[in-house]
């Protein structure tokens, strides 16, 4: 049977020692009262809910899945509804939401810590409240006063949930060819007609109402993405007094039968004259929806982090217990029939890969969450702008790098378990299946790579990347004089220099041939992801070195993990850089009809 224990010590290390979050909060008027004790109390309680309430339902949800009934309603797996009720009663949906709408007004950083533990415990269940938070963010930023009055308090409290309805049978990433129509009505609302597919949490029995955010076209819309508008379409219409009204002609046509995340209802949603209200301006729906999409991309990165952590925990526990063969240097457990497999070098490679990806991902995701808090709340406009640029740059890397690494980590976990990993009883095969979707939805990882290189880097001639580069450069200059930091600073400086050169080279090639961007994007994102991890692992190593004399094994393990990362994982960039430099000719030379 799988197990999960919230990694509270490492979460606290990242928040308090690496990020010094309380010092940042002291500069943000909204969070000046958020101290270490408050932070610790919240993450401890979050960990308890995740491990004690959500985690026991993970395999249940995978085995049972969701059930669609003849009337279009959907029943979630056993225990999901009761767990969601406890989640709402404990106030978790409101954690980082605006107090004006019933939120607790706490930092995004704490919400990220909450969702890491929830995703480790039960990704399928966590998607129901997770998507609702994105819907809240979108309506909070772009909703009309009336929409905010109708929807926000219910979304903040968790009494209603939300969805994001983009994809259609003929279009996924290419939203410019979507067909769903929105026809104006006399009262200022719109009649929404069309079919959306792959809609996570599209129909369920957890709440009394669901707020669908739907992309559709007005009759006079221009072609392409510039002709898309966004609409709020509730499952049930809402009466003037806020009570639930009649069904809004929104139905679940079917539930997708899919590889993983069985406990979440991935639906085909039919809108047959459903009443919706315009969110934001006409034909500018993507601008509004990107608030939710960016929140979702960060959320998917957290899903990857959660699965990486739980896969590592179970792999490490199994490797300490499973007996197979003897150590190559002699028996380590002579009193037993064989040694635990953790004595074998390649098992340790797999475990340390998982551990490094978990610890690096946690540092990265929490750092970006703290930057979001700064971007939204700092009194200095320049600080908000600079921090916002970094968040914009790093968001596609969070989504793609963490989820790619999670799939690697869960597969390594299956390999540690051997044949037992392939058997459902042990839980590892579910983590592999669940991890695979995270590389696809909310914009495939290839799309994230194109977004990073084409828009976020080359789109502004590298301005945002240089802002990050200056942070790295300052750290290198500060720590490069310390002999004990040389083993971390030298490879960090090396990869930083190589990213700078690679970026310039691709930029020059792209001026002559745009396909150079498409051919280089995926290895480029992974290379920059490793630059980010190198920076953060060097910072974590500095802290571990400064606490070396304490005798605390935590710092010993942190230092060993950092050394493993630089020795065994960072060298991947040598091949990645060669791939990125190889150009597009070998990809585009073969005629399509010869494939």
Rounded Cα gap, residues 200 and 124, in angstroms: 10
Structure tokens at 18: 């690496």
Rounded Cα gap, residues 153 and 150, in angstroms: 7
* Residue 275: per-residue pLDDT: 98
Q: What is the CATH number of the domain that holds 64?
A: 1.10.540.10
474 and 549 co-located in one domain = yes
Of 109, 142, 175, the residue that ends a domain is 142
pLDDT tens digits for 442-500? 999 999 999 999 999 999 999 999 999 999 999 999 999 999 999 999 999 999 999 99
Is 114 inside a domain boundary? Answer: yes
Of 261, 284, 307, the residue that ends a domain is 284
97 and 202 co-located in one domain = no
Q: Which residues neighbour 166 within 8 Å (Cβ) at sequence distance 6 or greater?
A: 175, 178, 196, 215, 289
453 and 489 co-located in one domain = yes
**What is the maximal distance between C-alpha atoms in the chain?**
83
pLDDT tens digits for 362-377? 999 999 999 999 999 9
Instruction: Please give the residue range of the domain that contains residue 118.
Output: 8-142
Rounded Cα gap, residues 519 and 589, in angstroms: 13
Name the one residue in this structure whose structure tokens are 């669901």: 210
54 and 165 co-located in one domain = no
Catalytic one among 375, 442, 479, 516?
442
The rounded mean pLDDT for the chain is 96
> Three-state secondary structure along 556-588?
HHHHHHHHHHHHHHCCHHHHHHHHHHCCCHHHH
Q: What is the CATH number of the domain that holds 254?
A: 2.40.110.20
Q: Do residues 396 and 450 touch, judged by C-beta distance below 8 A?
A: no
Is 295 inside a domain boundary? Answer: no
pTM for the structure as a whole: 0.97
pLDDT tens digits for 11-39? 999 999 999 999 999 999 999 999 999 99
pLDDT tens digits for 251-289? 999 999 999 999 999 999 999 999 999 999 999 998 888
Total domains in the chain come to 3
Beta bridge partners of 226: none
End-to-end CA distance of the chain: 45
pLDDT tens digits for 133-171? 999 999 999 999 999 999 999 999 999 999 999 999 988
Of 284, 312, 343, the residue that ends a domain is 284
Q: Is 515 designated active site?
A: no
């Amino acid at each position: 049977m799988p197990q999960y224990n919230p990694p509270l010590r490492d979460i606290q290390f990242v928040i308090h020692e690496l990020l010094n979050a309380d010092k940042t909060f002291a500069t943000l008027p909204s969070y000046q009262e958020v101290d270490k004790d408050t932070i610790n109390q919240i993450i401890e309680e979050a960990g308890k809910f995740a491990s004690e309430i959500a985690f026991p339902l993970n395999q249940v949800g995978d085995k049972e899945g969701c059930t669609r009934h003849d009337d279009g309603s959907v029943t979630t797996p056993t225990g999901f509804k009761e767990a969601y009720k406890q989640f709402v009663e404990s106030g978790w949906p409101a954690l980082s939401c605006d107090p004006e709408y019933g939120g607790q007004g706490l930092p995004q950083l704490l919400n990220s810590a909450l969702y890491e533990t929830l995703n480790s415990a039960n990704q399928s269940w966590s998607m129901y409240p997770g998507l609702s938070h994105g819907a809240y963010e979108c309506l909070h930023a772009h909703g009309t006063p009336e929409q905010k009055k109708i929807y926000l308090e219910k979304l903040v409290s968790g009494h209603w949930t939300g969805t994001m309805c983009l994809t259609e049978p003929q279009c996924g990433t290419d939203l410019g060819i979507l067909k769903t129509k929105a026809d104006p009505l006399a009262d200022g609302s719109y009649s929404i007609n069309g079919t959306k597919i792959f809609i996570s949490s599209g129909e369920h029995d957890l709440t009394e109402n669901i707020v669908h955010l739907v992309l559709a076209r007005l009759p006079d819309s221009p072609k392409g993405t510039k002709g898309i508008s966004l609409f709020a379409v509730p499952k049930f219409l809402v009466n003037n007094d806020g009570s639930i009204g009649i069904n809004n002609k929104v139905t679940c046509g079917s539930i997708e039968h899919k590889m993983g995340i069985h406990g979440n209802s991935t639906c085909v949603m039919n809108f047959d004259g459903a009443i919706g209200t315009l969110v934001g301006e006409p034909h500018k729906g993507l601008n509004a929806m990107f608030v939710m999409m960016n929140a979702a991309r960060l959320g998917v990165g957290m899903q990857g982090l959660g699965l990486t952590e739980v896969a590592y925990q179970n792999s490490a526990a199994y490797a300490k217990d499973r007996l197979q063969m003897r150590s190559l240097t002699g028996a380590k457990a002579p009193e037993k029939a064989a040694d635990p497999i953790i004595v074998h070098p390649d098992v340790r490679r797999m475990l340390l890969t998982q551990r490094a990806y978990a610890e690096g991902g946690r540092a990265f995701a929490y750092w970006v969450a703290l930057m979001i808090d700064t971007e939204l709340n700092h009194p200095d406009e320049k600080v908000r702008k600079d921090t916002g640029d970094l968040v914009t740059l790093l968001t596609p890397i969070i989504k793609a790098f963490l989820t790619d690494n999670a799939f690697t980590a869960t597969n390594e976990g299956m390999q540690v378990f051997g044949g037992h990993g392939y058997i459902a009883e042990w839980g590892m095969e579910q983590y592999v299946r669940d991890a695979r979707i995270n590389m696809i939805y909310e914009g495939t990882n290839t799309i994230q790579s194109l977004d990073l290189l084409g828009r976020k880097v080359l789109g502004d001639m590298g301005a945002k990347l240089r802002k990050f580069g200056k942070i790295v450069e300052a750290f290198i200059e500060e720590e490069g004089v310390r002999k004990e930091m040389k083993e971390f600073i030298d490879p960090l400086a090396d990869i930083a220099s190589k990213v700078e050169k690679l970026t310039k080279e691709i930029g020059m090639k792209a001026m002559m041939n745009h396909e150079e961007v498409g051919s280089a994007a995926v290895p480029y994102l992974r290379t920059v992801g490793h630059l980010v991890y190198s920076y953060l692992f060097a910072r974590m190593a500095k802290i571990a070195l400064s606490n070396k004399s304490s005798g605390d094994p935590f710092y010993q393990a942190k230092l060993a993990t950092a050394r493993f990362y630089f020795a065994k994982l960072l060298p991947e960039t040598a091949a990645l850089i060669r791939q990125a430099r190889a150009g597009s000719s070998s990809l585009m030379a073969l005629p399509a009809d010869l494939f």
